[in-house]
Amino acid sequence: MQTLQPDYFNSYRSLELMRDANGVLVAEFHSNGGPFTFTAQDHTEFVDAFYRIAQDRANKIVILTGAGGDFIPDIDFSSFGNVADPGVWSQVHDEGVQILENLSNVRVPVIAAIEGHAHVHSEYALLASVIVASEDATFHDVPHFAGGIVPGDGIFTAWSYRAGAGRAEAFLLNPQPLAARTAYEWGVVGEVVPNGEALSRARELAELYMKAPEVTRRNTRIHLIQPLKERIVREVGYGLALEGASAADLVKSMQVKTEPVARKGKVA
């Protein structure tokens, strides 16, 4: 029996939503069908996407994954515009908070199926109930400290909750690709599977979870995510404010470096 696909399934440029007859929703990040490069438009659209996914009770299990052998490998910084502009950062700030709160409000089991690079917004995966990663999958934090800005968008909150504060701080202050096996040893990844099998294993887990009564499935997710959800509410708005100040300072320092020498110290 085929289920009707709601209108919102076709509303997002970089998120393909596919739901089977049992209510298992696969949400796949992509750019034109290939590996996903995160942009400002996606940042805006994901607020609504995860809200709609969370409130749609026809979604019985949610699987997050990426296209083209990667989860989220890259980001287009330029698409966000002048992040030193308070108006620009206000939107980034509000959307960043809402995306994570809406993800944490998905009230059914969430499985992240990770292949390849989870190098941007890996905290999305860490908000899943379980992460299944392939052997060659790696986790990283490309956009923040190495680029000159504070990792304040929830990535520290998620990693410190899953792996411990000491490991999270070391990971974020000296960002290097973290192997799936290491993430498994840290307790972040639930299972490591052969390359190319993360999504199929996620589907197997979804089938297993579907054997539990619906109220049990929903209430278990609600219960297990609550401690991390409380930290997201407490910490992410503050963290993004700090990140915004550092982004503004970075833009300012870059402008000073490019200012013509002839203009300095001159009186009209």
pLDDT in tens, 106-130: 999 999 999 999 999 999 999 999 9
Cite the active site residues.
123
- Whole-number pLDDT of residue 260: 64
Q: How far is residue 90's CA from residue 79's CA, in Å, rounded to a whole number?
A: 15
Nearest one of 108, 106, 242, 123 to 188, comparing CA atoms: 123
Question: Phi, psi (5° rounding) for residue 219?
Answer: -70, -30
Residue 13 has pLDDT above 80, yes or no: yes
Residue type, 144: H
- Whole-number pLDDT of residue 256: 74
- Whole-number pLDDT of residue 255: 81
Residues 6+ apart with CB under 8 A from 228: 104, 127, 157, 158, 161
List helix spans (H) across 56-189.
86-104, 123-126, 155-163, 165-173, 180-185
Residue 267 has pLDDT above 60, yes or no: no
- Whole-number pLDDT of residue 10: 96
- Does some domain include residue 209? yes
Please report the beta strands in the chain, taking only residues with DSSP state E, as ranges in sequence order. Answer: 15-19, 24-29, 37-38, 61-66, 74-75, 110-114, 117-118, 130-134, 138-139, 178-179, 191-193
- Does some domain include residue 79? yes
109-to-130, 216, 224 alpha-carbon distances in Å: 8, 10, 10
- Does some domain include residue 2? no
Whether 176 and 254 have beta carbons less than 8 Å apart is answered as no
**What is the rounded average pLDDT of the residues 171-185?**
97
Residue type, 19: R
- Does some domain include residue 41? yes
- Does some domain include residue 178? yes
What is the residue range of 106's domain? 7-263
Nearest one of 235, 91, 229, 65 to 151, comparing CA atoms: 235
**For residue 258, what pLDDT band results from cuts at 50, 70 and 90?**
low
- Does some domain include residue 227? yes
Whether 154 and 229 have beta carbons less than 8 Å apart is answered as no
- Does some domain include residue 268? no
- Does some domain include residue 199? yes
Could you give the number of structural domains in the chain? Answer: 1
Residue 71 has pLDDT above 60, yes or no: yes
Whether 13 and 32 have beta carbons less than 8 Å apart is answered as no
User: What's the pLDDT tens digit per position in 31-49?
Assistant: 999 999 999 999 999 999 9
- Whole-number pLDDT of residue 5: 85
User: What's the pLDDT tens digit per position in 204-223?
Assistant: 999 999 999 999 999 999 99
- Whole-number pLDDT of residue 150: 98
CATH of the domain at 41: 3.90.226.10
Q: pTM of the full predicted structure? A: 0.93
Q: How far is residue 150's CA from residue 245's CA, in Å, rounded to a whole number?
A: 9
- Whole-number pLDDT of residue 254: 83
**For residue 268, what pLDDT band results from cuts at 50, 70 and 90?**
very low
- Whole-number pLDDT of residue 210: 98
